[in-house]
Amino acid sequence: MSGLAAGIRLAHYDQSVCILEKHWTIGGLNSFYRTNGRNYDVGLHAVTNFTPRGTKKGPLARLLRQLRFRWEDFELSPQVGSAIAFPGVRLGFNNDIDCLRSEIARAFPAEVDNFERLLSQLADYDDLDQENFGGSARAFLAQTLQDPLLIEMILCPLMWYGNARPDDMDYGQFCIMFRSIFLEGFARPYKGVRLILKHLIKRFRSLGGELRLRSGVESIRVEGTRAVGVVLENGEEITAKRILSSAGVIETQRLCDNLSQLEPQKAGQLTFIESISILDKQPKDVGFGETIVFYNDSPHFHWRPPDEQLCDTRTGVICSPNNYLYPSHSGELEDGVIRLTTIADYQRWKQLDDKEYVRAKMWWYDRSVASAVRFIPDFRSHVIDTDVFTPKTIRRFTSHDNGAVYGAPDKQLDGTTHLSNLFLCGTDQGFVGIVGAIVSGISMANMHCLRDPG
């Protein structure tokens, strides 16, 4: 996704661009697969950063302008409403911050003023300016809010949707995620992420860009301090003036054939399983009308890889693609779908043999759903089909080490690498989510390939 966005920018300004996609399908983590005659989205629970038509500020408006799309093109329908559920407390929120405001006034009346203070501090954060990115989000929140439970509840969705670091979060990432989820919000195209991908590819090709599928990069050719081209898995060599890599920071370094000089960097650890349930009716007809529910079953939010098991079901995200305000002419989605995301451990999943793997998928489907139905109505008697994707699936789609969904904890915000003409885009550059991936591709193309056309 970030690569396509960068490609559109560069092709628009008449550069010769070739996008190399390892798989037979596009989109990296923001992709989809088909099994049992049904389409399953991977990645996309929601498009975050949703702002209404006519909004001039924010990442969505920015990417539409940069890629010359109209707001209507992405056919985004806003969420119905979501919630953060902890034992005994539930905070609802939607795409209007007043909803969360009033929920906090109801559940945490002593925090009303502190929350306003928090909002005003966040309003000034500029996501194109990297200087204040570092620092602890927990420390910042502890200075602003009094009630530890409210801090945990606010962090829960933000970490779930974009934190590569266990336990704590970079201050900058916190600000970006807070805005994308609470101040802007969730939306989804009726036809899913495919629609956005389709638009990006069509535009890229119409500008003369070349997209090659099943063209994995075996290595990046290096001469001195420059990358001179890539070697594909089939042996073909392609030369290039500049290379943008969305493979991840460590993964990209590994592709370079002068690896020995590099300092080892830490790969991300946070990865998931996702349990998908197809229901015999719409989720709202079994009592689940919310768009996304982030739950955690104790007052402290556990955001770290599982200690001993394949998964940790104490926290999770429940969502339904059905629960968006789709236009009346689209109607409802055909299948009732509930998706449930649970923290998992890549290494343990990887070690399973084929038989154990299949069994583990079934076992953890049951465990994770049993955990989730403590926070939403029990839908299990309506399930007609299920699928589970695991850290192994995520690894296959993203090529990220450990299947780390949000990549490495230490982001390379300026996209530079040890080579002067090799740059990163996508997750490890810093922006996450669909809008984040697109903005990442745009900003890296602007910064490194357009300002100095060389």
Partner 1 sequence: MTPAEIRDEIIDILSEIAPDEDLSGLQDEQSFREQMELDSMDFLDIVMELRKRHRIQIPEEEYGELASMASTVRYLEPKMANI
Question: Can you give the binding site for partner 1, defined by CB under 8 A?
Answer: 13-14, 53-54, 56-57, 62, 65-66, 68, 70-71, 128, 442-443, 446, 450-451
User: Mutual orientation of helices 112-123 and 137-144 as an angle, nearest 10°?
Assistant: 130
Rounded to an integer, what distance in angstroms lies between the CA atom of residue 424 and that of residue 445?
Answer: 10
Q: For partner 1, give the closer residue by CB, 65 or 300.
A: 65
Burial class of residue 252, CB neighbours in 10 A (0-12, 13-18, 19+)? buried
For residue 277, give the H/E element and its range: strand 271-279
Q: For partner 1, give the closer residue by CB, 34 or 53.
A: 53
Least distance (Å) between residue 192 CB and partner 1 = 24
Strands 38-41 and 32-35: antiparallel
Q: For partner 1, give the closer residue by CB, 68 or 281.
A: 68
Q: For partner 1, give the closer residue by CB, 175 or 250.
A: 175
Least distance (Å) between residue 174 CB and partner 1 = 22
Least distance (Å) between residue 170 CB and partner 1 = 22
Q: For partner 1, give the closer residue by CB, 100 or 442.
A: 442
Q: For partner 1, give the closer residue by CB, 53 or 355.
A: 53
Which residue(s) pair with 386 in the sheet?
A: 277
For residue 283, give the H/E element and its range: none
DSSP 291-332: SEEEEESSSS---S--SSSSEEEEEEEEE-TT-B---TTT-S
Residue at 120: amino acid letter: S
Least distance (Å) between residue 123 CB and partner 1 = 15
Least distance (Å) between residue 442 CB and partner 1 = 7
Least distance (Å) between residue 13 CB and partner 1 = 5
> Given the structure tokens 């109801």, which residue do they identify?
106
Report how far apart, in Å, the C-alpha atoms of 428 and of each of 46, 83, 163, 249, 266 are.
Answer: 20, 28, 11, 6, 12
For the record, the structure tokens of 251 come out as 């993964």
Q: For partner 1, give the closer residue by CB, 286 or 438.
A: 438
For residue 164, give the H/E element and its range: none
Least distance (Å) between residue 4 CB and partner 1 = 17
